[in-house]
A = this chain, B = another copy of it.
């Protein structure tokens, strides 16, 4: 049985996508597409709190989507791989076709709207 290996691969893939699947993390990744940035710069650009960013960065770092490099007191982050940019780009392509459908997906969006 390959079930264990298959489940592992499935979980890895889901985990990879989970890195992109939330607006805060996604805005961090989008900011890093252009250039490496330190945490303070990310705070400015994304307008998220420092601890919030730091928490997300820890996850993204652990998941291998970003890597960090110390420069003095600053920690610079960048995307680990060009293909991460490629995934974002391809998502945009799909969105340009499917946007209407995604836009109308309110299932997990406005649960208590009357």
Interface residues of A, Cβ cutoff 8 Å to B: 7, 9-18, 20-23, 26-27, 30, 58-59, 62-65, 80-81, 83-84, 86-88, 90-95, 97-108
Q: For residue A99, which residue of chain B has the nearest CB?
A: B12
Closest-CB distance, A15 to chain B (whole angstroms): 5
| This chain: copies in complex | 2
Q: For residue A7, which residue of chain B has the nearest CB?
A: B23
Closest-CB distance, A107 to chain B (whole angstroms): 5
Q: Is A102 in contact with B22, judged by CB distance below 8 angstroms?
A: no
Q: Is B26 in contact with A17, judged by CB distance below 8 angstroms?
A: yes
Which residue of B14, B20, B30, B97 contacts A22 across the interface (Cβ within 8 Å)?
Answer: B14
* Given A11-B23, A27-B10, A90-B90, residue A16 in contact with residue B95 (CB < 8 A): yes
Tell me the complex Cα distance, A88–B9, Å: 12
Tell me the complex Cα distance, A62–B101, Å: 6
